[in-house]
Amino acid sequence: MEKPETLANNDLGAVRSSKARRLKRIRPGYFNPPGGKPVCVPGLEWLALLLAGPSGAPCLYQFEWWTRRGEHARRRADVVNDALVELSHRFGSTVLHVFDRGYASQAWLGKLVNANLKGLIRWQTHYQLLNQASQAVKTWELTRGKRSIDYRLVYDTVHKCNRKTGLIYQPVWHPAYPDVPLYLIVSRPGQGRTPWYLLTNEAIGSAEDAWRMVFAYARRWQIEMAFRYTKSELALESPRLWFCGVAL
């Protein structure tokens, strides 16, 4: 939430302005957009968890505002850890937690392992993983030159057509957690399109299990759309009330 024109609330902290980032994008016919470091403005951070099934609309499970300054100051790591602990107590390993590339890191993988949660992360291709020979190799090199073991026609919702998509998976390990078995799943949507490199701590024993992970990550787009419409249509980032007391 951005409040660039006010400093009246002592709880407002420095947040990166997403509006300024959108205004700095290069558009056809317009040149020399402003560059430099990200623009920070007063505001509040928020954390939301959405629960989604194989089909249907996702539903909001948890939502929380937090700030780095003032009387109610908290650290991002503490907010995330509290959410993971609550999820571990409530669901355990009965649900799959899906994360985009922004969460691809050694620290975040460790949080999932320590909380005993099943996770699926779209991994960065230049990060290193251990192969079966315990050699550290870049993620994209692990499956280089290997043919897909299965193919399916997957519907492309953007271009309204079916695309022949290849699939390959193999066991891997992370250098920081060599005792934790992981699986790398690569979804290849065809020539000219970027493959998905998905890392999961759930056991993959067949191509059907790997496809289930691919379609689970594809459901992430529904969550992105949910956030988009709550911010644009419901003014999620422009609330007028934070605390409310009700006398009974």
* pLDDT for residue 241: 60
Q: Is 70 exceeded by the pLDDT of residue 105?
A: yes
Q: What is the mean pLDDT of the chain?
A: 84
Minimal CA–CA distance to 179: which of 208, 201, 156? 201
Residue 199: pLDDT band (50, 70, 90) is very high
* Angle, CA of 233, 239 and 244, to the nearest 5°: 135
Its CATH class, for the domain covering 93-232, is alpha beta
* pLDDT for residue 156: 79
Q: Can you give the residue ranges of every domain in the chain?
A: 93-232
Convert the pLDDT of each residue in 53-75 to its tens digit: 888 888 888 888 888 888 888 88
Longest dimension (CA), the chain: 68
Instruction: Tell me the one-letter amino acid at 5.
Output: E
For the segment 34-43, the average pLDDT, to the nearest whole number, is 81
* Angle, CA of 213, 217 and 219, to the nearest 5°: 120
